[in-house]
Amino acid sequence: MPLNRAATEMDCFIFLLPFLTTVCAGFTVSKPVGRVVAVRGQPVFLDCEFTPDPTSDLSSLVVTWQRVEDSRVIHSFYYQRNQLDLQSPDYRNRTSMLVSELRKGNATLRIEPVGPRDVGGYLCTASNAKGTDAAQVWLEYGAFYTEPRLSVKTNCSTVTLLYEAEGFPKPEVGWFGEDGAVLSHHTELSVDADGAGRPVGLYYLKSSHVSQSSSLNVTFTLKNQLLDQNLFKPVSITYGLPVQ
């Protein structure tokens, strides 16, 4: 019976809890939040706190930051110094951890610059004379969309409104009429690339609306859900058809 099973699991949990607490009380690794959003152009801090040696002695301390998916080493500390020999080339010159903070039990990792390839799980493992423990944090990446740039093209029968902007991740885009009616549009997203052909962490957005009306009052909206960014661009245009 499902109810019974739930009850059994509950009992088990209640029984185990004091036991676990006792075993782990000596040494713990924790992180205040399980998910961190890295924003393009800013450093990201991945928190990891452990029980420090009361004498602030670092001689037995080993801290390793790794990617959860493939165990790539991001940053390590042992023999009383930052160790980068085993660091994945993907993270070269981008990470730092402060020795002064390690003395206090703070193994926060700083990464800068950040990009889409940094999205994923990060595992912080710490051990010293008091014990060993690990904690995970999930990193998301986003870039605020730039102020959308408007261009207007007209010919004798139609007007085309085009907005262009760059950001990350894919946004929700809409075009609305005066009464809130959903308007048709054509939207393209392409990955912005640097000289080496690698993505630089931005989508390039082009969104256009075509109308036959000579008097337009429409609103373009762009939402970047991850960063809670909402852009509203009202456009009001009246254009004269060529004089006969």
Ligand X SMILES: *[C@@H]1O[C@H](CO)[C@@H](O)[C@H](O)[C@H]1NC(C)=O
Query: What minimum distance in Å lies between the beta carbon of 71 and ligand X?
Result: 20
Interaction of residue 230 with ligand X, rule CB under 6 A: no
Residue with Cβ nearer ligand X (194 or 228): 194
Interaction of residue 210 with ligand X, rule CB under 6 A: yes
Query: What minimum distance in Å lies between the beta carbon of 234 and ligand X?
Result: 7
Per-residue x/- marks for ligand X, 138-167, CB under 6 A?
-----------------xxxx-x-------
Residue for token digits 């980068």? 84
Which CA distances in Å does 171 have to 40, 90, 149, 228? 16, 27, 16, 11
The piece of 63-71, 106-114, 116-124, 140-148 that touches ligand X (CB under 6 A) is 106-114
Residue with Cβ nearer ligand X (159 or 205): 159
Residues 124 and 46: their CA atoms lie apart, in Å, by: 9
Instruction: Please name the helix (run of DSSP H) or strand (run of DSSP E) that holds residue 191, with its range, or none.
Output: strand 186-193
Among 147, 213, 236, 239, binds ligand X (CB under 6 A): 236
Residues 132 and 94: their CA atoms lie apart, in Å, by: 26
Residue with Cβ nearer ligand X (98 or 183): 98
Binders of ligand X in range 6-45 (CB under 6 A): 45
Residue 44's DSSP bridge partners are: 111
Interaction of residue 108 with ligand X, rule CB under 6 A: yes
Residues 180 and 100: their CA atoms lie apart, in Å, by: 56
Residue with Cβ nearer ligand X (27 or 45): 45
Residues 56 and 106: their CA atoms lie apart, in Å, by: 11
Half-sphere exposure of 196 (CA within 13 A, CB side): 3
Residue with Cβ nearer ligand X (111 or 166): 111
DSSP secondary structure, 177-188, as one string? -TTS-B---EEE
Residues of the shown chain interacting with ligand X in the complex, contacts defined by CB under 6 A: 45, 92-93, 98, 101, 106, 108, 110, 155-158, 160, 178, 210, 217, 236
